[in-house]
Structure 1
Amino acid sequence: IFLLAKELSNYNNVLIITTTKMLIPKNKDIEFFETAEDVNNYTGKNKIIVFGKRIEDSKFGPIDSYELDLVKDKFENILIEADGSKRLPYKAWREFEPVILKETNKTIGIIPSLYLNKHLPEELVFSPELFKENFGFQGILSFKVIKNIILHKDGIFKNAQGEKIVYFNQQKNIDNLVITKEFIKKLKKYDDSIIYKMGKLNENYSNNFGQW
């Protein structure tokens, strides 16, 4: 989310909020505010602004819809972190997840590519039993499992609003790249309205499969 915010901040200020919990950024180039007044009074240009309520020494939580209404007209782009997985790469979504605001006009789901068509250890899955039940997972992160993660009513786009985008992250090598391309080609036959992208976020690399 911060990489996308950095790119967008080349054009305008960008606001980041959460509907769950996030770590308070330590980057001195990112501004953190706890009140709408402070956000609206900020005069910096091409900056990333994080707005939330400090709930722990290192974390902040969501603002309410009234506070969002007070600041939203100040920004062309507002990025909302709407889901968490306790730092695990894969998950199944429980009844109350994810928390997506009605104002959302794009929903981005990130799926790591590292284990495509490979054995996926259960310890890398948040809510593994639900992952098996909902997506047909039996140890291998097969095309069927990925398709179900994306298209199942309780999958990655549960409660989604607006345009849907899947980003396949963690492209490690050429074999991984080939498998991901094959998966995307098949996936588009099921729902060609979903936009697919792939890349390696920590190296700022991406290839576009569909228009952003």
Structure 2
Amino acid sequence: MKLMIPNKTEWEINPVLLDALGLDKVSSPIVSVVGGGGKTSTLEQLTKEYAQKRKQVIVTTTTHMMPPKHWPWCREESVEIVDRYLGKKGVVWIGLESDTGKMKSPALEFLKKLTGKKLPMIIEADGAKRLPFKVPGEWEPVILEESTMVIGVLGMDALGKPLADMCFRYAIASKLLEKPEDGIITKDDYAKVICNSWGLKKGLHKNMDYVIILNKVDDEQRLKEALCIRDMVRKLGIDKVYLSSYKACKNE
């Protein structure tokens, strides 16, 4: 992984994302990750770093997501069983098993109970079916009101491509962005989705920190474009924009 933090123009190679986001300074952050094009990779990275620091962490979803490949998966809504996983592994991914084999959200009441444990919690709060660009539907995202940070992720590989090919909920995006469904995604579209309450800011409360990750910045052209988008949204009041590449990660 490589990361470029806000206001910098040089890459950090193999950074500690927890530290870069300031999560290391918070005892029990509740982080909801929304958007597309790198949510699962971000969850995996943060989970790995908590484990390396030997800190307990709970990972879950309020929608659906692919089950973890390398982490223990608790399929039951039981605080006692969660404690057992945490005691043995320090890390637990919590979610019910769906008919498709995906991990789906436990009852929100149960998740609220878990927030009372005062442990770091990382939540995939949005779905995108592996597409890099996302505008939420009426019922999305599902952000716990206890969240302390919302991370909005967009993949830079959608830029310059047709909306219908690269955007989840493209019909909704077409109306909100005022362009045809086969219209080309522009840098201005990224800025609108990042800065509007119908986009990645949907469900954001004043007490929640708002962070953007422009992911899949895998070459010099995408870097130039991502820096331009970062400048655009900074002028609109969004300062915490990170650039990243998880190119070595298989599960974008």
Point out which structure has higher relative CO (alpha carbons under 8 A, 6+ apart).
2
Given the alignment of the two structures, is residue 93 of structure 1 paired with residue 136 of structure 2, yes or no? yes
Contact persistence 2:62–2:108 (CA under 8 A): no
CA drift at 1:123: 2.2
Alignment partners' CA distance in 1, 2:200 and 2:112? 27
Letter in 2 for 1:203: A
Q: Which of 187, 204, 222 pairs up with 1:143?
A: 187
Contact in 2 for aligned 1:14/1:75 (Cα 8 Å): no
Root-mean-square deviation (CA), in Å? 2.0
Equivalence for 2:61: 18
Which secondary structure does the structure 1 equivalent of 2:72 belong to?
Answer: strand
Matched residue type, 2:52: N
2:23 corresponding residue in structure 1: none
Task: Give yes or no for contact 1:147–1:187 (8 Å, CA) kept in 2.
Answer: yes
Query: Are the equivalent residues in 2 in contact too, given 1:13–1:75 (CA < 8 A)?
Result: no
Counterpart for residue 151 of structure 2 = 108
1:197 is aligned to 2:242: yes
Following TM superposition, by how much is the alpha carbon of 1:121 offset from its aligned partner in structure 2, in angstroms? 5.1
**Higher deviation after alignment, 49-58 or 179-188:** 49-58
The 2-side partners of 1:100 and 1:195 are apart by 19
TM-score (norm 2): 0.72
C-alpha distance 202-119 of structure 1, shift in aligned 2 (>3 A): closer
The aligned counterpart of 1:32 is: 73
Structure 2 unmatched runs, 5+: 1-42
Which consecutive aligned stretches of 4+ in structure 1 deviate over 4 angstroms post-superposition?
none
Shift of residue 182, structure 1, vs aligned partner: 1.6
Matched with 1:4 is 46
SS in 1 for 2:58: strand
Partners of 2:144 and 2:155 in 1: how far apart? 24
% identical equivalent positions:
24
**How much does 1:197 deviate?**
0.3
Question: Contact 2:94/2:106 (CA < 8 Å) preserved in 1?
Answer: yes
- Within the candidate set 175, 179, 202, 1:158 is matched to 202
Q: Whole-Å Cα distance in 2 between the matches of residues 60 and 129 of structure 1?
A: 26
Amino acid at match of 2:233: L
Aligned to 2:123, the other structure's residue is in SS state: strand
Deviation (angstroms), 1:63: 2.0
Q: Give the whole-Å Cα distance in 1 for the aligned partners of 2:67 and 2:225.
A: 36
